[in-house]
Chain A
Amino acid sequence: MKPASESELSEMIRGARAFLIQGGGTRRIGQTVGELLETSALAGVELYEPGALTLIARAGTPLAEVQTILAAERQRLAFEVPDLRKLLDREGTSTIGGVVAANASGPRRVQVGACRDALLGVRFVDGTGAIVKNGGRVMKNVTGYDLVKLMAGSQGVLGVLTEVSFKVQAVPEAEVTLMAERSLPQGLADLRAALGSPYDISGAAWIAGRAMIRLEGMAGSVAYRAGKLRDLLAFDTAEADWSAVRDVTLFAGRPGAVWRVSVKPTEAAPLIARLGLEAVCDWGGGLVWLLDPTGTADVRAALSGNGHATLMRTLPGAMSVPVFQPESLAVAKLTAGLRAKFDPRGVFNPGMMG
């Protein structure tokens, strides 16, 4: 089904059945069943004000279309949307609503926050068919509860997004990457030192034996900060492809389960050592991607509550492990309560998120 308007979508939802909600199907994780409900007909950029750094698009708008429109004004989505198609072995066209539903955020998160931090407003249809708006198009808005954040990353279980609005960012005039060959523990220590400096880092990753730091901004400022950090950490200026970090292409096409783990940066190296798995680290160690060739590692046990792990890709025939980190009893109760209120008949992505 491909509703072309909110009212059409609302009608469809009122007819009781289970839906598998899909933007472009490029980044969905987790098991779910139901009739395919595609948002691709709810498409188009509705408002773009470069001078106010705001953009409103219907949820099914292809991400690429949003990016093209922004690029024409030398602007962008600051949170650097990962393209996980290769990693997850998917095809399709990523939509802006799917990006929001997954709260998809890349390396620049250490500087500008996640997708949810750039999201100003949403419209969605809930499980009763009610059309709901929250937030808006202005940068500061504390009017009523912030359901915008609630919807970001909710994987479609609370409602079907129909419209999203963002704060966007001007593309900086200069970008420099500093790099050094480093062991994992030393590399992550250097990244933490950089993030603890006043030099406004926009990327801090460790991949394949190299630590990488990104600086962006005005040319003079970038040169100044790069000089300071080169001296501080003994890194060199290098050409770098941050999309490899963003999209975790190192693990694409290779057999094994893939985990995405959020931890305190100082706990990344010990965790990886305990598990003995190949890793890519982003966010200065705050985000760890793990490749588990046999699909047998107990990542959550190794974490022992100090963070959380999502199983992004499983091995065919592997033991059944929950994709999303099981929540504490009190949190799970609240989450279940919200789902029951927003989707009382359980029609959205049944089985998703536990």
Chain B
Amino acid sequence: MDMPIPNAAILARKSTIVARLRGVLPADAVIFDPAETRAYECDALTAYRCAPLVAVLPRTTAEVAAVLKICHEEQIPVVPRGSGTSLAGGALPTADCVILGVARMNAVLETDYDNRFIRVQSGRTNLSVTGAIESDGWFYAPDPSSQLACAIAGNIAMNSGGAHCLKYGVTTNNVLGVTLVQMDGTVVEIGGPWSDAGGIDLLGVICGSEGQLGVVTEATLRILPKPEGARPVLVGFNSNEVAGTCVSDIIKAGILPVAIEFMDRPCIRATEAFAKAGYPDCEALLIIEVEGSPAEIAEQLTRIKAIAMQHNPVEFREAADEDQAKRIWLGRKSAFGAMGQINDYMCLDGTIPVSALPYVLRRIGEMSTAYGLDVGNVFHAGDGNMHPLILFDANKPGDLQRCEAFGADILKLCVEVGGCLTGEHGVGIEKRDLMSVQFTAADMEAQLRVKDVFDPAWLLNPAKVFPLNITASRRAG
């Protein structure tokens, strides 16, 4: 993975830069000792590491603005960081950068049930947003699987999804407003606790911009009253194709489950060996969750069962109580851990049209044989968001490169069938060099121009998202 060569002039100015940053932040918020900056050398894409020049941990919007102003004057690249859970390398530093971590900015600023929003500092973790309102019967809907650790700042940067966004939408559909600090230190309020910000939808392009347009310090989020209850069912099939058709039939029938999860046989077997959830040994299984009152749940499950039965499932398992419901989810929630027990793995998240599912799974199987690497598939089937987990051995020379080549082939396949490279993890560095598979030069130019407007000097997270050769002239300027 190529990264830009660190700017020697910046490295040489380290002590001056640290002194300036310490002038606007408390001493414990500026980390510059190489032994300590190593804590920020990578995110959840651990294959790539590089300690930053400095890491700063501001507590307020004003402190963030002061830091960015200094970095702008000094022309130092800045890599914003939420909790560092990016699977795409979104928070990977360069040796000449300042890591701007928002983890200490975790306060709830305002909760307003009458108007259905919460305003938080962006370092607050996803799950603790819900934690702040749960006892009053409310929740924040987007639920990335790292929700215990991941920060709202990172969710906004990557426009994170989750298992339940089939019904509730992803981050961008649940953010009403942000406080954004631009690279030159300008603080701008975009949107607010009302629907539609008016004017051009800047909020829409900020969500998912991977920390390249500004640093979000505060966010106004849509919150929802908790449903009365939820219950999953498990349906096993002897063919991926039939399972895929079943998903399509459920959607077409107008039933809107909150989640439809899909696991294939390699993943089921790995999960069983690890978590012993009692899953059937079959080719494909679906976990379908519905919400509502007991009667509403029963009504939906009756319909789902009727549709599933037309496809001769090998198993249709209902949850009679909370404990059985937990067991149905147990395997799915352990899937990544289970694969991790077997070997190192790389997790991709290309999205495909639901109709292409059987073809794509068959092709992935063929590629798995050709590359000699095992792969398990677990994914959000309702919206076609795949999660192939490719197993490799990081200690075996060449295995990572082979795995990356296999992954790239899968993502090219996703684009070929009408899908995209990434559905919820973001591009980061991981998929940066594949962007030209999905986009023409003109498509990318239009996106680069947006960054030109927000960050004309190209200092914010500059080596991410777009192929380096395409951004070279801008980054140099």
Chain A contacts to B: CB under 8 angstroms: 49-54, 73-74, 103, 109, 113-114, 116-117, 126, 130-134, 136-150, 152-154, 157-158, 170-173, 192, 195-198, 200, 218, 220-221, 224-225, 262-266, 283, 286-287, 306-308, 310, 324-325, 327-328, 330-331, 334-335, 337-339, 341-342, 353
Whose C-beta in chain A lies nearest to the C-beta of B88? A142
| B384:A138 contact, CB within 8 angstroms | yes
- Of B137, B427, B453, which one neighbours A334 at CB under 8 angstroms? B453
- Of A141, A149, A154, which one neighbours B351 at CB under 8 angstroms? A141
Whole-angstrom distance from the CB of B75 to the nearest CB of chain A? Answer: 20
Chain B residues within an 8 Å CB radius of A173: 254
Take A142-B425, A196-B113 as given contacts and tell me if A147 and B380 are in contact as well, using a CB distance cutoff of 8 Å.
Answer: no
For residue B431, CB closer than 8 A to chain A, the reply is: yes
For residue B408, CB closer than 8 A to chain A, the reply is: no
Chain B residues within an 8 Å CB radius of A196: 113-114, 116, 225
For residue B383, CB closer than 8 A to chain A, the reply is: yes
Whole-angstrom distance from the CB of A352 to the nearest CB of chain B? Answer: 11
- Of B254, B295, B420, B454, which one neighbours A74 at CB under 8 angstroms? B254
Q: Provide the bound-state CA to CA distance between A17 and B313, in Å.
A: 62
| B196:A328 contact, CB within 8 angstroms | no
Q: Provide the bound-state CA to CA distance between A321 and B435, in Å.
A: 44
Chain A residues within an 8 Å CB radius of B182: 330
For residue B226, CB closer than 8 A to chain A, the reply is: yes
For residue B409, CB closer than 8 A to chain A, the reply is: no
- Of A131, A307, A327, which one neighbours B199 at CB under 8 angstroms? A327
| A141:B201 contact, CB within 8 angstroms | no
A-B contacts, 24 of them at CB < 8 A, read A50-B252, A52-B251, A73-B252, A134-B447, A137-B353, A138-B383, A141-B420, A143-B438, A144-B427, A144-B444, A144-B465, A145-B209, A145-B450, A145-B451, A145-B465, A152-B204, A195-B116, A198-B227, A218-B299, A307-B192, A330-B188, A335-B199, A338-B450, A353-B200
Whole-angstrom distance from the CB of B145 to the nearest CB of chain A? Answer: 14
Whole-angstrom distance from the CB of B157 to the nearest CB of chain A? Answer: 10
Whose C-beta in chain B lies nearest to the C-beta of A335? B200
Chain B residues within an 8 Å CB radius of A328: 188-189
- Of B293, B380, B452, which one neighbours A224 at CB under 8 angstroms? B293
Interface string of B437-455 (1 = CB under 8 A from A): 0111011111101111110
The 8 closest A-B pairs by CB, nearest first: A149-B204, A170-B254, A139-B383, A140-B423, A337-B453, A51-B248, A330-B188, A308-B198
Q: Provide the bound-state CA to CA distance between A70 and B450, in Å.
A: 35
| A49:B353 contact, CB within 8 angstroms | yes
Q: Provide the bound-state CA to CA distance between A21 and B252, in Å.
A: 36
Chain A residues within an 8 Å CB radius of B450: 145, 147, 150, 338, 341
Q: Provide the bound-state CA to CA distance between A50 and B228, in Å.
A: 30
B-side interface size class: 35 or more
Chain B residues within an 8 Å CB radius of A287: 195
Chain B residues 307 to 321 lying within 8 A of chain A, measured CB to CB, are none
| B189:A52 contact, CB within 8 angstroms | no
Take A142-B159, A147-B447, A149-B172 as given contacts and tell me if A324 and B199 are in contact as well, using a CB distance cutoff of 8 Å.
Answer: yes
| A49:B446 contact, CB within 8 angstroms | no
Chain B residues 215 to 273 lying within 8 A of chain A, measured CB to CB, are 225-228, 248-249, 251-256
Q: Provide the bound-state CA to CA distance between A15 and B115, in Å.
A: 49
Q: Provide the bound-state CA to CA distance between A223 and B49, in Å.
A: 57
| B196:A266 contact, CB within 8 angstroms | no
| A140:B353 contact, CB within 8 angstroms | no
Q: A52-B251, A126-B446 are in contact. List 6 more A-B contacts (CB 8 A).
A: A137-B353, A140-B165, A140-B380, A150-B201, A170-B252, A218-B299
Take A109-B195, A130-B446, A331-B190 as given contacts and tell me if A138 and B352 are in contact as well, using a CB distance cutoff of 8 Å.
Answer: yes
Whole-angstrom distance from the CB of A128 to the nearest CB of chain B? Answer: 9
Whose C-beta in chain B lies nearest to the C-beta of A123? B443
- Of B194, B255, B355, B444, which one neighbours A307 at CB under 8 angstroms? B194
For residue B393, CB closer than 8 A to chain A, the reply is: no
Chain B residues within an 8 Å CB radius of A338: 200, 449-450, 453
For residue B422, CB closer than 8 A to chain A, the reply is: yes
| B202:A331 contact, CB within 8 angstroms | yes
Whose C-beta in chain A lies nearest to the C-beta of B445? A130
For residue B170, CB closer than 8 A to chain A, the reply is: yes
Whole-angstrom distance from the CB of A74 to the nearest CB of chain B? Answer: 7
Chain B residues within an 8 Å CB radius of A310: 198
Whose C-beta in chain A lies nearest to the C-beta of B214? A334
Chain B residues within an 8 Å CB radius of A132: 442-443, 445-446
- Of A53, A130, A195, A224, which one neighbours B442 at CB under 8 angstroms? A130
Q: Provide the bound-state CA to CA distance between A220 and B418, in Å.
A: 38
For residue B6, CB closer than 8 A to chain A, the reply is: no
| A331:B188 contact, CB within 8 angstroms | yes
Whole-angstrom distance from the CB of A159 to the nearest CB of chain B? Answer: 8
| B201:A153 contact, CB within 8 angstroms | yes
Chain A residues within an 8 Å CB radius of B424: 140, 142
Q: Provide the bound-state CA to CA distance between A218 and B299, in Å.
A: 8
Interface string of B148-181 (1 = CB under 8 A from A): 0000000000110100011001101100000000
Take A144-B435, A145-B209, A146-B208 as given contacts and tell me if A198 and B225 are in contact as well, using a CB distance cutoff of 8 Å.
Answer: yes
Whole-angstrom distance from the CB of B129 to the nearest CB of chain A? Answer: 17
Q: Provide the bound-state CA to CA distance between A109 and B296, in Å.
A: 23
| B446:A147 contact, CB within 8 angstroms | yes
For residue B413, CB closer than 8 A to chain A, the reply is: no
- Of B198, B225, B423, B435, which one neighbours A138 at CB under 8 angstroms? B423
| B208:A142 contact, CB within 8 angstroms | yes
Chain B residues within an 8 Å CB radius of A52: 248, 251, 353-355, 384
For residue B121, CB closer than 8 A to chain A, the reply is: no
Whose C-beta in chain A lies nearest to the C-beta of B385? A140
- Of A103, A140, A306, A353, which one neighbours B196 at CB under 8 angstroms? A103
For residue B82, CB closer than 8 A to chain A, the reply is: no
| A331:B199 contact, CB within 8 angstroms | yes
For residue B365, CB closer than 8 A to chain A, the reply is: no
Q: Provide the bound-state CA to CA distance between A53 and B208, in Å.
A: 23
Whole-angstrom distance from the CB of A7 to the nearest CB of chain B? Answer: 13
Take A145-B447, A149-B207, A342-B449 as given contacts and tell me if A330 and B384 are in contact as well, using a CB distance cutoff of 8 Å.
Answer: no
Chain B residues within an 8 Å CB radius of A109: 195
Chain B residues within an 8 Å CB radius of A74: 254
Q: Provide the bound-state CA to CA distance between A143 and B190, in Å.
A: 23
Whose C-beta in chain B lies nearest to the C-beta of A228? B293
Q: Provide the bound-state CA to CA distance between A112 and B300, in Å.
A: 19
Chain A residues within an 8 Å CB radius of B295: 220-221, 224
Chain B residues within an 8 Å CB radius of A195: 116, 225
| A218:B202 contact, CB within 8 angstroms | no
